Amino acid sequence: MNPRIEKIISINPFIIKALWTDNQVRTIDFGVFLSEYFSKPESIFHKILNNDTFKDAKTDGRTIYWDGVVEMEDYDGKKIPAPLDFCPDVLFEQSVLEK
């Protein structure tokens, strides 16, 4: 199992620098990772490729997520806001170790 994201250090347009649970600082460039979605406004990923939304990234000690970016159907069939998150293993693979 790869390490998890312990803390976000900085957020710049589409780039997040984070401390991982193995004490490494790694950078994830979502602008490169999600580049194909800049031109796909119907995609859920397009929603975070906006400076105002992107800067609201958070961590839960495991991965990076954005609150209320997507909708899900509740048990009673009602649509409610839900977070958009990424598999931490994918983020680790997409990240670059800071030197």
Neighbouring residues of 89: CB distance < 8 A, sequence distance ≥ 6: 1, 2
- Domain span including residue 66: 5-97
pLDDT of residue 1: 77
Output the CA–CA distances (angstroms, integers) from residue 82 to 7, 12, 24, 30, 68, in the order listed.
21, 23, 29, 20, 5
Give the separation between CA 56 and CA 54, rounded to whole angstroms: 5
The CATH number of the domain where 85 resides is what? 3.30.2020
Q: What is the residue-level pLDDT of the chain in tens, covering all 99 positions?
A: 789 999 999 999 999 999 999 999 999 999 999 999 999 999 999 999 999 999 999 999 999 999 999 999 999 999 999 999 999 999 999 999 998
Q: In the chain, how many domains are there?
A: 1
